[in-house]
Amino acid sequence: MFDYFKLAGPVIRSLDPEKAHGLTVRALACGLVPGQPRVDSAMLESTLWGLRFPNPVGLAAGFDKNAEVPDAMLHQGFGFVEIGSVTPRPQPGNPKPRMFRLPEDRAIINRMGFNNQGLEAVAKRLEARPRIGIVGSNLGKNKDTEDAASDYEKGAARLAPLSDYLVINVSSPNTPGLRSLQGRDQLEGLVGRTRDALDRAVPSGKRPPLLLKIAPDLNDEDLSDIAAVALAGALDGLIVSNTTIARPDSLKSAFAKETGGLSGAPLFAPSTAVLGRMYVLTQGKLPLVGVGGIASPEQAYAKIRAGASLVQLYSAMIYEGPGLVTRVNRGLIGLLARDGFACLADAVGADHR
């Protein structure tokens, strides 16, 4: 198949990053972006929370904040798509410029600030979609909401009937005070209230799983507290991890000192280390989603061996194009076969055995 991104990529990257992203979403919504070859293999299939994932490679939250193109992205070969982050009320986010490419580092820095059209706009789009594949919703809070849990309650109540899974996002570095919600006491209250709202919104037996997305910058005590909350039955899984506020000395780009969350290649090692730690702390009892720096089949496989049942990517597509999804899935088949695994589930957490 002709790789149109070899021609389109340099043009897209010549534009302001946020403008380029907006144009890409509009092109997808209009059907102007060709789909990618689908990789069908029983080796890649898995069933988690009663959901059948055709492959383990998902689109991370942040690309489709307003649920404008979830099905178009499924046609790019993803096994699942996560929309959002969505806040109850629309909000513009932080002042521009707020997204920066670091091409020398194969990285991105963003300080978007949960810019989105709000819960009702997103819900109406999800109501109208044909539900041809797995789509989860990532929930955030409005910047000026003092009772944070109330925003997650609202998000869960509205989107539970429309989503295959829900994610509590308390790990973005771009909303003041948000990451402090990862402490044990606050987290227990927030997760408990969100789960109660979820139970009220959806009939028994049809409740979508509730996941928590965590930061890569947590210390061992924080990670232990999150694992304890998760194992207590309040959560169905964890997404590891969001962007980092760290700035490795290896960064070469002129934008390296910009504030915000760093994603892409420099995030791979620290996020994978946290992923492995959370797999051990949760004793392999909870499905984990590995995110951060994936740009090759080998890196996706490393996340799986570290403990991820599913993986997600986003930043690498800016440099590699959507064909990366197909390349990762095809490569995973070969890596699983090389190591003697009959299916992906057999490889999850292999590094800890």
Annotated binding site for FMN: 61-65, 85, 138, 169, 213, 241, 264, 293, 314-315
214: left (phi over 0), alpha (psi -120 to 50) or beta: beta
Residues 154/160, Cβ–Cβ less than 8 Å: no
Strands (E), 50-106: 51-53, 57-59, 80-86, 99-102
CA distances to 127, 226, 307, 313 from 240, rounded to whole Å, are 28, 12, 10, 12
First to last CA, the chain: 40
Residues 175/140, Cβ–Cβ less than 8 Å: yes
Q: Which of 167, 154, 156 is nearest to 213 (CA)?
A: 167
Give catalytic status of residue 172 as yes or no: yes
What is the C-alpha separation between 193 and 63, in angstroms, rounded?
27
Buried b (16+ CB within 10 A) or exposed e, 131-148: eebbbbbbbbbbbebeeb
Sequential DSSP letters for 226-237: HHHHIIIII-SE
Q: Which residues are annotated as a binding site for substrate?
A: 65, 110-114, 169, 174, 242-243
Structure tokens at 183: 């402490």
Residue with tokens 């055709």: 54
Q: Which residues are annotated as a binding site?
A: 61-65, 85, 110-114, 138, 169, 174, 213, 241-243, 264, 293, 314-315
Q: Which of 137, 163, 171, 172 is an active site residue?
A: 172
Please give the DSSP secondary-structure letter assigned to residue 299: H
Longest dimension (CA), the chain: 53
**Strand partners for 139:** 86, 168
Burial group, residue 130, by CB count within 10 angstroms (0-12, 13-18, 19+):
exposed
Find how far residue 316's CA is from the centre of its chain: 13
Burial group, residue 95, by CB count within 10 angstroms (0-12, 13-18, 19+):
exposed
By annotation, the residues acting in catalysis are: 172
